[in-house]
């Protein structure tokens, strides 16, 4: 392909290099290697290939660009600025400064044009796979024979570091399997990692690996050849063989700074001290943060043309809306995060004498919700039979069924987390993933990023305690629930019975400013029918509530979550009428309630408190204080039937009654 305006694109590439050099030099930190080495890739993407509208960074049918190698953030900021997004030159100058729109790594919601929070290597690959899946789902749900409103591409730029991380391999394998021909991964192949040359830690053919995953593969020997890059991206866009595309682009890391180019020293800010000579070598003037009028004029004209192209799509979209009012209303509800009215009421009430595992209750609940809410998506890491979250009669997402609402992730927990995040970034569907609680640590990196990025997604983590039983300590997550509670902005909900579980699933969908993790039991638990259904469901939304009100003068408060609430209630009956029981399924939600409500549940001045949970105990100290008592498990579990393990480790009515005196009862 002979690119029009190739000279101006080369100028833009060199001026983008200058922006990166000046920004990193100004703050004495950052990563120059990728922005300099991949500048021609950026020039072709933002100056030619991407179908975007910089005047509306959230246009529904825009191509999505994901910088998985997020340490090279000045690559993204430089090109967003040049392309005309709402990112001023002053913001580029503010790189890595307090409250700027140009933080050290790209952050979703902070910078127009940034599609994902990236930096932890490999996460962006999983995000891109998730975004591509969401794009396929959206096309299947909303396109009609008369009007195609969704047909965009996803492009992900990666480096060796991303591809060495296991999460990238997991996600790419699934992406190839389900035929994401709307996905292109561009590999900035520069033979360098941070500590050393790449051959110190890898020797496989990455291209062959991706071919084995089911990708079309292209190798560009000269990653600075604008025409070759444009041709490869054009091939990827035009491919119709049902495969994603992988383009290996051989580049020179740190190109433009001869002193470090092609070496491990070129990865970070080491080349910034050569800023003046580098600028001169690139043909740039002494002026810092220089962009020529010619380059600005080119991108200004391109921005206007892209706006015209988008306006043509607007006409198609308007016609689609008129012809498909129900689809249009559903799409709008997804984009605005609006739930169907009275959605919680779509979940049938459980029988008073029901005794079921909360994972089994969740099966009924998620299916009831999915029937009422068509944008609910569910998936599992090869454990649907155990996690019980399969959406019945709603199909599996595959290369031949993009409308399927069940995602079969395979045994890929980390990729599941990153892919669910990608669907969350896309902004229409409400996705979830499921595995055993003990394996939440396999996906913790993705969970942490979802909380940082405020993504409205949720996960279902079952087999929540030592009550797992015979599988033993490797599968008994004594520390997992508390460990997850330490992640800021992650709601962790451990419901006590089927009705609390209904409230927990609804809470996950109701929340639009962050993720939720549902911690569900393997073993059966009694339905707490002595408490009204509405109190249990609504109590979850508040995080904690009084499950048993004391009679007369209060002498003891017992707090519990999950399966231990029924034990606490039984113990309270033995201890007498002066004992209050508080069910606390979600600490985070409770802590967000106003002071009046929190006081009504846990009076500040009343310190005779006991907490019980089949897990590590320290996190409950914030509610019982140093003088309170926690009945917990501060060791790994045992292989034996679950009820025997619980009793052996002190999670029993008898032990709660015994420890009540230590907590101040009758004292």
Whether residue 144 is predicted with pLDDT greater than 90 in this model: the reply is yes
Residue with tokens 């020039």, as numbered in its chain: 43
| Measured distance between the N- and C-terminal CA atoms of the chain, rounded to whole angstroms | 86
**What's the average model confidence in pLDDT over 643-667?**
89
pLDDT at residue 257 tops 60: yes
Catalytic (active site) residue 413: yes
| Cα–Cα distance for residue pair 152/115, rounded to 1 Å | 14
Tokens for 620, please give them. 């409950």
CA gap 315, 158 in Å, rounded: 35
3-state secondary structure of 145: coil
Chain-centre distance for alpha carbon 490 = 11
- Residues 231-248 as b or e (16 or more Cβ within 10 Å = b): bbbeebbeeeeebbbbbb
* Per-residue pLDDT at 114: 98
For the chain, give the percent of residues with pLDDT over 90. 93
Cα torsion angle, 285, 290, 292, 298, sign = positive
Tens-place pLDDT, residues 270-294 = 778 898 999 999 999 999 999 999 9
Q: Write down the pLDDT at residue 199.
A: 84
* Percent of the chain scoring above 70 in pLDDT: 100
**Model pLDDT, residue 1:** 65
Question: At what angle are helices 166-177 and 413-426 packed, to 10 degrees?
Answer: 70
Please determine, for residue 650, whether its predicted confidence score (pLDDT) is greater than 80.
yes
Residue given tokens 């932890």 in the structure block: 120
pTM: 0.97
For residue 624, is pLDDT > 50?
A: yes
Query: Is 70 exceeded by the pLDDT of residue 471?
Result: yes
- At 345, list the tokens: 């009421």
Host H or E run for residue 655: helix 653-660
Does residue 498 carry a pLDDT above 50? yes
Which helix (H) or strand (E) is 480 found in, with range? helix 480-485
- The answer for residues whose C-beta is within 8 angstroms of residue 216's C-beta and 6 or more apart is 235, 236, 239, 241, 243, 244, 245, 246
Half-sphere exposure for 579 (CA within 13 Å, toward CB) = 24
* Average pLDDT for 416-441: 98
DSSP string, 499-540: HHHHHHHHHHHH--SS-EEEE--SSEEE--TTS-HHHHHHHH
**In the structure, what pLDDT confidence band is assigned to residue 616 with cuts at 50, 70 and 90?**
very high
Displacement of CA 68 from its chain's centroid (Å): 14
pLDDT of residue 192: 83
473 within 8 A of 637, measured Cβ to Cβ: yes
pLDDT in tens, 86-104: 999 999 999 999 999 999 9
Mean pLDDT of 368-394: 98
Q: Where are the alpha helices (DSSP H) in 244-402?
A: 275-281, 293-323, 325-335, 358-372, 384-387
Selection from 187, 183, 254, 196 nearest residue 34 by Cα: 254
- Choose, from 413, 499, 555, 564, the residue flagged as catalytic: 413
Ordered structural domains, the chain, with CATH = 6-308 (3.40.50.970), 343-526 (3.40.50.970), 540-663 (3.40.50.920)
Q: Each residue of 194-238: pLDDT tens digit?
A: 777 778 888 899 999 999 999 999 999 999 999 999 999 999 999
Q: Which pLDDT band holds residue 667 (cuts at 50, 70, 90)?
A: very low
pLDDT at res. 666: 56
Measured distance CA(93)–CA(289) in Å, rounded: 8
Q: Is 266 a residue whose pLDDT tops 80? A: no
Mean pLDDT value of segment 366-381: 98
Distance CA 304, CA 285 (A): 28
Angle at 460 between CA 470 and CA 533, to 5 degrees: 100
**Mean of all residue pLDDT scores within the chain:** 96
How far apart CA 411 and CA 434 sit, in angstroms, is 11
Cα–chain-centroid distance for residue 629? 36
Give the separation between CA 433 and CA 417, rounded to whole angstroms.
Answer: 7
Lowest-pLDDT range, 83-97, 104-118, 263-277, 523-537?
Answer: 263-277
């Amino acid at each position: 392909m002979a690119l029009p305006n190739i000279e101006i694109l080369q100028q833009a590439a060199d001026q983008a290099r200058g922006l990166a050099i000046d920004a990193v030099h100004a703050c004495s930190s950052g990563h120059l290697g990728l922005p300099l080495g991949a500048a021609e890739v950026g020039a072709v993407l933002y100056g030619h290939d991407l179908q975007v509208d910089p005047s509306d960074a959230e246009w529904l049918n825009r191509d999505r660009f994901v910088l998985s190698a997020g340490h090279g953030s000045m690559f993204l900021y430089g090109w967003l600025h040049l392309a005309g997004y709402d990112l001023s030159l002053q913001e580029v100058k503010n790189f890595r400064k307090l409250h700027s729109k140009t933080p050290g790594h790209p952050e979703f919601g902070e910078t127009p044009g940034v599609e994902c929070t990236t930096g932890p290597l490999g996460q962006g690959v999983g995000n891109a796979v998730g975004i591509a899946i969401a794009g396929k789902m959206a096309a299947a749900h909303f396109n009609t024979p008369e009007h195609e409103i969704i047909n965009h591409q996803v492009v992900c730029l990666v480096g060796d570091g991303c591809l060495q991380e296991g999460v990238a391999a997991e996600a790419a394998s699934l992406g190839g399997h389900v035929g994401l021909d709307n996905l292109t991964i561009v590999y900035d192949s520069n033979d360098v990692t941070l500590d050393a040359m790449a051959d110190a830690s890898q020797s496989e053919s990455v291209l062959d690996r991706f071919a084995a995953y089911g990708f079309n593969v292209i190798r560009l020997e000269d990653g600075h050849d604008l025409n070759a890059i444009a041709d490869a991206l054009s091939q990827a866009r035009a491919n119709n063989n049902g495969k994603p595309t992988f383009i290996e682009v051989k580049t020179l890391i740190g190109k433009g700074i001869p002193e470090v180019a092609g070496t491990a020293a070129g990865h970070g800010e080491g080349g910034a001290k050569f800023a003046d000579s580098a600028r001169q070598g690139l043909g740039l003037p002494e002026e810092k943060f220089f962009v020529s009028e010619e380059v600005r004029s080119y991108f200004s004209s391109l921005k206007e043309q892209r706006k015209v192209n988008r306006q043509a799509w607007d006409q198609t979209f308007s016609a689609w809306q008129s012809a498909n009012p129900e689809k249009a209303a559903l799409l709008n509800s997804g984009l605005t995060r609006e739930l169907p009215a009275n959605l919680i009421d779509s979940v049938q009430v459980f029988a008073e004498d029901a005794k079921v595992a909360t994972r089994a209750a969740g099966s009924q609940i998620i299916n009831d919700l999915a029937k009422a809410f068509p944008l609910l998506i569910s998936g599992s890491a090869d454990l649907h039979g155990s996690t019980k979250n399969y959406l019945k009669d709603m199909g599996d997402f595959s290369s031949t069924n993009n409308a399927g609402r069940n995602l079969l992730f395979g045994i890929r927990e980390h990729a599941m987390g990153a892919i669910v995040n990608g669907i969350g970034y896309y902004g229409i569907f409400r996705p979830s993933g499921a595995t055993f609680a003990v394996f939440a640590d396999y996906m913790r990196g993705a969970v942490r990023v979802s909380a940082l990025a405020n993504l409205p997604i949720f996960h279902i983590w079952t087999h929540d305690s030592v009550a797992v039983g015979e599988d033993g300590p490797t599968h008994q997550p004594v520390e997992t629930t508390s460990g997850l509670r330490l992640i800021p902005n992650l709601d962790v909900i451990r419901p006590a019975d089927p009705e609390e579980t209904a409230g927990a699933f609804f809470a996950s969908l109701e929340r639009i400013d962050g993720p939720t993790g549902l911690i569900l039991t393997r073993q059966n638990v009694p339905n707490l029918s002595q408490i009204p259904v509405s109190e249990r469901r609504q109590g979850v939304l508040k995080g904690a509530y009084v499950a048993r009100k004391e009679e007369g003068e209060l002498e003891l408060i017992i707090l519990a979550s999950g399966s231990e609430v029924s034990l606490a209630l039984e113990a309270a009956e033995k201890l007498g009428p002066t004992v209050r029981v508080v069910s606390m399924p979600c600490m985070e939600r409770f802590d967000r309630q106003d002071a009046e409500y929190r006081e009504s549940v846990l009076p500040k001045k009343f310190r005779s408190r006991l907490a019980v949970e089949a897990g590590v105990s320290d996190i409950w100290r914030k509610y019982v204080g140093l003088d309170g008592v926690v009945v917990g498990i501060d060791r790994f579990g045992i292989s034996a039937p679950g009820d025997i393990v619980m009793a052996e480790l002190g999670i029993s009515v008898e032990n709660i009654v015994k420890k009540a005196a230590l907590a101040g009862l009758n004292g």
